[in-house]
Structure 1
Amino acid sequence: MDLIDDGPEQAPGTNAHEFTVSEISGAVKRTLEDQFGRVRVRGEIGRVSRPSSGHLYFDLKDDRAVLAAVTWKGQAARLTQRPEEGLEVIATGRITTFPGQSKYQLIVDQIEPAGEGALMAMLERRRKALAAEGLFDPARKRPLPYLPRVIGVVTSPSGAVIRDILHRLRDRFPVHVLIWPVAVQGQDSAPQVAAAIRGFNALPADGPVPRPDLLIVARGGGSLEDLWGFNEEIVVRAAAASDIPLISAVGHETDTTLIDHAADMRAPTPTAAAELAVPVRADLAARLAEAGARMTRASTARIDRPRQRLRDLARAMGRPGTLTETARQRLDLTGARLAPALRGHIAAARQRLTAAPVPNLRDFLAVKRHRMETAGAKLHPALIRRIERRADRITGMGERLSASLARMLATTRRAITQQTGRLDDLTRRLSAAPARLIAKQAEALARLDRTRQTLGYMETLKRGFAVVRGPNGVITTAAEAARTPEMQVQFADAAIPMRPASAPKPTRKPKKPDQPTLL
């Protein structure tokens, strides 16, 4: 019996349609995308991956499930909130599948924190991490310059903040202000603020644009989300790395951001930042004037006190001339007696020296020898020879003594002669001193007399003037001259009596006729 092969045997109940893997994957993809479309998913971020391609891969999870999420490179640069592990967020995107791994995933194009509590928790974790690196260490903070020449301001150019800062600087102490415009809110805020801080620090000290001495990063108040750009790590690191002292003036007094911890000084408001940056010029001028006045008073007192002390001491000491007048007078009297006394002393010494006889030792010794010979004729010959030797020695010593006395006498005569010449010279000088003093005094008296004559009124009379005198003294006015009946006019050589023309003439009695008249 032949067996006929009719092909593969059909299993019972296998009439269902067969799908390929691609068909199943496509059907699942369409079903998910049609069913969910664009969704918002709340969850905690876990396992964040940032490969070199620029895409972001992370997980969204809760206590029971995990959802894979991805953000493409172009969209990742525009995210307002960077995904960080442990942060609870609300991710917005679309559900799709990845056929290569048979899984579904969320394509995220927007991430926002799930609430203020989550933001604060993330902010606290970031603050602790940056503080552990030493970015908030108070030891690295630098003092602000007392009077900066140029101030750089990083803020929005169109807000009220920059107007408040400029107005306050103009009122207190006008300085040169450079403004670096940035976005102070949104996803572009953090990169622009960090770039502005680095840009100011990169300016050369001697370049065409002056390098600021102080930086102010300022923004007005707002919510935690509005100020979030100043909590970003890129901004905090730029502020900590700034070589220029930096003031953080972000938000109002109750607002605190991470840049406040990294800055060298925190200001509660932008206006307060301007007040911290520069002093008040009027106060400086007042302090300078007060310091100048104090210095002037101190200098004057330093000079006046010794001057007054010197005056008091001078009054107590009296005039210096009175201290030497008695000694000067005594010196004059002694000097007048010195010359005659010296001359008399020298004459007496010369007379005594001339009258004194010079002893002749040779004769004296000869007499002594003769006496010794006479007396020694009876002595022993040895003793005689000894005496002769002693006599010869004494004779030699007498000759040397005579020569020495003669030399000493000559030396004494020369010394006396020299002293006599000096005394004569001193006598001549002392004799001429009174004449010179009298001549000097006479010359001074003549100068005073010439001054008296020059200042006297007689010299004025010689130039053509005259002095009019009345009974009561000199007349100086015409009215007084008119009332004076008799005057005396003094000229340079003589005085002439005069009577004014208006004075009444003396009346004369009529002369009686010698004989009576017939009429």
Structure 2
Amino acid sequence: MSDLIDDPLPGRNLPEYTVSEISGEVKRTLEGTFGRVRVRGEVGRVFRARSGHLYYDVKDDRNVLACTTWKGQIGNLSVEPEEGLEVVVTGRLTSFGAQSKYNLNVDEVAVAGQGALMALLEKRRKQLASEGLFDEARKTPLPYLPDVIGVVTSPSGAVIRDILHRLRDRFPRKVLVWPVAVQGANCAPEVARAIAGFNALSPGGALPRPDLIIVARGGGSIEDLWGFNEEAVVRAAAASDIPLISAVGHETDTTLIDFASDKRAPTPTAAAELAVPVRLDLLAWVDGQAARLSHALSAGVERRGQRLRDLSRALPRVETLLDAPRQRLDFWGERLPAALTQSVQKRRVELSEISGALRPGTLRGQLRDQAQRVDQLAGRLLPALDQRAERGRERYDAMAARLGRCRPDADVAQRREQFTALSNRLSQAGIRQLQDLRDKIGALDRLRETLSYKATLNRGYAVVRGDGEIVKRKAAAQTATTLEIEFADGKLSVGKGATKPAKPAPRAKPDTPEQGDLF
């Protein structure tokens, strides 16, 4: 036997390889021959290791292909593989020499066909619904008029413009936009982080915390909208403390975030309409409520007035008690305006006569006399009114004593209070009339100051008196013995022996007189 081993047969001298060399050659052959491939099949078992790597099988009716996705590649997958899902995986074929196995390193997973996507969507929906994420009891109502609205969408699409335009038309509000990718591998994690980020804002901080969140995207295929069916997005929407409106796709598009959100809008524009009311409608409603309130107040006052009139019929008539005081009040009330009017008219005539001469000293003297007279009248009027009111009160008390046997004390006290109030009103009316008279006299004094010739002197004019009389003509000035010229700041006397002023030079413009030529 040893001879046979030491001396192999001719033609059987094959080279010897180590196990590692064979494994390495197989690995190089697989990777060089196949390179990057796409494989379609059904996902079998799925296992996630503690390290974060993902191991699963892709199979058909006869064979199984082991697949591996490393931890750093999982975030780039648009769809994570689930057991029973038909997928198309893309990656590089390689081998694992430690176990003499080959596998596919997958860096891209796509669902094979819309039917498989719908099956996966239904399976995920039932799973999340069983956890209570879609229950109506956990949903919160939307605020009627939010101050700040957070929008999670793409900043470059037409969706954000539609939302801002509709908010501006209905009721302008502050809007915070959190830009995210609305499709692709980055869609789900960015949307989930945006919802959590809005909820993490503190109320009253430098960046205001939204009162409402809108997650919006335009229409598209089920593959385009798949990011909003991911479990991370659904759980973020369900965990949001801020009310959330989902507006993903058009009316016929339905994603799992629609079930977890507090309100679903068929379109992004409809989401803006759900977020705020119409300002004009709100103003009209407020006006309507104001009209109803005014009508209710008027009707209430009318009912109480009618009730008061009905109750007053049961009370005794006051005319029999107050006829005489009322007649006296009417008598003095009618005489007082005429007397005051006559007094003012008389003083107006006197003032007109006095103002003709425009003598300030005389006007001041008369004003002092009138003021003293008014003060005397005021001093006499108030005691007289008080005395008359006291006499009326005494008569009223005597009458109340006579009627005490047949009228309740409450009625007598009420009539006494009414009479006292009437007396006080009469006294106050007299005081007001006197005050009005003082105000008018003060106004006439100010008018006198305005019409006084002193104001004219301040504008550059002068008053010429000859022998004590006002001179209005040149001839009168020439015949006067002495002339006195009064200016605004004093008087100047001019004698007959004064040097005659030089004849003024001819004026350049004869049609424009100067003030210096007055004399």
For Structure 1 versus Structure 2, the TM-score category normalised by the shorter chain is 0.5 to 0.7
The whole-number CA distance in structure 1 between the counterparts of 2:299 and 2:135 is 50
Counterpart CA distance in 2 for 1:316 and 1:449 is 33
Separation (CA, whole Å) in 2 of partners of 1:459 and 1:86: 110
**Of the candidates 225, 230, 233, which is equivalent to residue 232 of structure 1?**
230
Mapping of residues 245-394 of structure 1, within 5 Å: 245-308=243-306, 310-311=308-309, 319-322=317-320
- Equivalent position of 2:62 in the other structure: 64
Looking at structure 2, the residues matched to 449 and 252 of structure 1 have their Cα atoms a distance apart, in angstroms, of: 83
CA distance in 1, matches of 2:343, 2:57: 128
Flag the 1:461–1:238 CA change in 2: closer, same or farther, 3 A: closer
Match of 2:14 in 1: 17
Question: Given the alignment of the two structures, is residue 55 of structure 1 paired with residue 53 of structure 2, yes or no?
Answer: yes
- Name the CA shift for 1:237/1:307 in 2 (closer, same or farther; >3 Å): same
Report what 1:223 is aligned to: 221
My pick for the range that moved more, 8-17 or 204-213, is 8-17
Note if contact 1:90-1:114 (Cα within 8 Å) is conserved in structure 2: yes
**Structure 2 counterpart of 1:37:** 35
1:73-152 counterparts in 2 under 5 A? 73-152=71-150
SS at match of 2:98: coil
- Relative distance call for 1:24 and 1:312 in structure 2 (3 A) is closer
For 2:295 and 2:287, the matched residues in 1 are separated by: 12
| Alignment-derived partner of residue 497 in structure 2 | none
CA deviation vs aligned residue, 1:131-150 (integer Å, no higher than 9, x gap): 11111111111111111111
Q: How many angstroms apart in 2 are the aligned matches of 1:99 and 1:277?
A: 60
Cα root mean square deviation, aligned: 3.5
TM-score by length of 2: 0.61
Structure 1 residues 458, 222: CA separation in 2 closer, same or farther (over 3 Å shift)?
closer
Q: Secondary structure at the match of 1:197?
A: helix
Note the C-alpha offset of 1:56: 2.0
Distance 2:146 2:333 in 1: 71
Q: Is the 8 A contact 1:156 1:162 kept in 2?
A: yes
Task: Tell me, in whole angstroms, the C-alpha distance in 2 between the residues paired with 1:138 and 1:313.
Answer: 57
Alignment of 1:204-215 (within 5 A): 204-215=202-213
* Deviation string, structure 1 residues 12-46 (Cα, Å, up to 9, x no partner): 57714143233433343343334323221111112
What is the CA deviation profile of residues 446-479 of structure 1, one whole-angstrom value per residue up to 9, with x for unaligned ones?
Answer: 96897599489899899999xxxxxxxxxxxxxx
How far did 1:10 drift? 3.0
Q: Secondary structure at the match of 1:183?
A: coil
Where 1:92 maps in the other structure, the secondary structure is strand
Which consecutive residues of structure 1, in runs of 5 or more, have no partner in the other structure? Answer: 326-436, 466-519
Give the SS at the match of 2:89. strand
Contact 1:173 1:281 in 2 (8 A): yes
How far has the Cα of 1:177 moved from its partner? 0.9
Task: Call closer, same or farther: CA 1:19–1:275 in 2, change over 3 Å.
Answer: same
Cα distance change of structure 1 residues 448 and 63 upon mapping to structure 2, 3 Å threshold: closer
Contact 1:221 1:251 in 2 (8 A): yes
Q: Mapping of 1:478-489 within 5 angstroms?
A: none
Partner Cα separation in structure 2 for residue 133 and residue 25 of structure 1 = 48
User: 1:393-430: CA deviations, max 9, x gaps?
Assistant: xxxxxxxxxxxxxxxxxxxxxxxxxxxxxxxxxxxxxx
The gaps in structure 2 that reach 5 residues or longer are 351-519
Per the normalisation by structure 1, the TM-score is 0.61
Q: In 2 relative to 1, CA 73–452 (structure 1 residues): closer, same or farther, beyond 3 Å?
A: closer
Matched letter for residue 246 of structure 2? S
1:306 Cα deviation after fit: 3.1
Distance in 2, Cα, partners of 1:441 & 1:114: 105
Q: Deviations over 1:139-171 (max 9, x none)?
A: 111111111111111001111100100111111
Given that 1:215 and 1:247 are in contact with CA atoms closer than 8 Å, whether structure 2 keeps it comes out as yes
Partner in structure 1 of residue 420 of structure 2: none
1:184-216 deviation line (CA, Å, top 9, x unaligned): 111111111000000000111121111111110
- Name the aligned partner's letter for residue 14 of structure 2: H
What is the letter of the counterpart of residue 185 of structure 1?
Q
Matched, 1:197 2:184: no
Other structure's SS at 2:99 match: coil
1:161 aligns to 2:159 (yes or no): yes
Q: Residues 322 and 136 (structure 1 numbering): CA distance in 2 closer, same or farther, change over 3 Å?
A: same
Q: In 1, Cα distance between the equivalents of 2:326 and 2:122?
A: 104
Aligned-residue offset at 1:11: 5.3
Moved more, 108-117 or 454-463: 454-463
CA distance in 2, matches of 1:290, 1:53: 67
The structure-2 alpha-carbon separation of the partners of 1:459 and 1:49, relative to structure 1 and needing over 3 Å to count, comes to: closer
Q: Which residue is equivalent to 2:26?
A: 28
Offset of residue 80 of structure 1: 1.6
Looking at structure 2, the residues matched to 453 and 36 of structure 1 have their Cα atoms a distance apart, in angstroms, of 123
Distance of aligned partners of 1:89 and 1:444 in 2 relative to their CA distance in 1, 3 Å threshold: closer
Instruction: Find out whether 1:244 has 2:239 as its counterpart.
Output: no
Could you give the per-residue CA deviations for residues 332-363 of structure 1, whole angstroms, max 9, x where no partner exists? Answer: xxxxxxxxxxxxxxxxxxxxxxxxxxxxxxxx
Distance apart, 1:52 and its partner CA:
3.0
CA distance in 2, matches of 1:463, 1:9: 158
For each residue in 1:90-114, what CA deviation from the matched residue of structure 2 results, as whole angstroms up to 9, or x when unmatched?
1112222221111111121211111
Shift of the alpha carbon at 1:316? 8.8
Aligned partners of 2:115, 2:266: CA distance in 1, in Å? 24
- Cα distance in 1 for residues equivalent to 2:215 and 2:333: 86
Separation of aligned partners in 2, 1:286 and 1:311: 37
Distance 1:134 1:457, change over 3 A: closer
Contact kept? 1:453, 1:459, Cα under 8 Å: no
How many angstroms does 1:224 deviate by?
Answer: 0.6
- SS of the residue corresponding to residue 100 of structure 1 reads helix
CA spacing shift, 1:449–1:45, aligned 2, 3 Å: closer
Moved more, 150-159 or 21-30: 21-30
CA positional deviation for 1:311: 4.4
| Secondary structure of 2:61's aligned partner | coil
Paired positions, count:
348
Cα pair distance change 1:22/1:289, threshold 3 Å: same
For residue 462 of structure 2, what is the aligned residue in structure 1?
none
Secondary structure of 2:20's counterpart equals helix
Structure 1 residues 304 and 6: alpha-carbon distance in aligned structure 2, compared to 1, 3 A threshold: closer
Distance 1:293 1:247 in 2: 35
Larger Cα Rg: Structure 1 or Structure 2? Answer: 1
For 1:183 and 1:217, the matched residues in 2 are separated by 12
